[in-house]
Amino acid sequence: MAWSDATDSELVRQFQRGDALAFDALVRRYQDRIFRLASLWLYDASRADDAAQEVFLRAYQSLPRFRFRAQPFTWLYRTARLVCFEMNRQRKHDPLPAEGLETSVPGNAGEHEIALAEVRTLIAELPERQREVIVLRLFEDCSVKETAAAMGCREGTVKALLYKARAALQGKWDA
């Protein structure tokens, strides 16, 4: 089976039938996205790979009982949010603090680390919900419907939050 052509639901159903390769395909499909999101949400961005591993480990344990009430990516996204929340709480900080995000970049950082740090700096002053919308809609290129499902809100709310976020970032970033 060509995993690249299969939908997320088909991959999960194959995994539920015992096909471990389907799970590998699912991981390869979303590992970059989950890693990037974790890099933005975690107070300590260096732990983003740990967070991504934890997200997919929970998927490995829970997807056999997945009932398809939501899309698999919605489940992965919310699990990533929960994992980052738990990891941030271990450091006794707010999940997405408006201030205090580590935006400084180490001297030997690569281009990817610099890009992530710039995005973190850009969204650091936004409220939590507006940050989510900006990241999902603009940076991750999710549709309005996908963003609403991931955030657990209506599509109108997504549009309103995006409008407010763009207004807040006006002057700092014109996208």
Scanning residues 7 to 46, which ones bind other proteins (CB under 8 A)? 8, 24, 27-36, 39
Smallest separation, CB 30 to other proteins (Å): 6
107, 121 Cβ separation under 8 angstroms: no
Quick one: DSSP state of residue 149?
A: H
**What binding mask, one character per residue, do residues 132-151 give for other proteins by CB under 8 A, x or -?**
------xxxxx---x-----
Q: Interface with other proteins includes 60 (CB under 8 A)?
A: yes
Q: Interface with other proteins includes 170 (CB under 8 A)?
A: no
HSE at residue 151, side-chain half, CA atoms within 13 A, is: 26
Smallest separation, CB 78 to other proteins (Å): 15
Q: Interface with other proteins includes 79 (CB under 8 A)?
A: no
Residue from the set 12, 45, 101, 116 that interacts with other proteins by CB under 8 A: 116
What type of residue is 121?
T
Secondary structure (DSSP) of 109-148: --HHHHHHHHHHHHHTTS-HHHHHHIIIIIIS---HHHHH
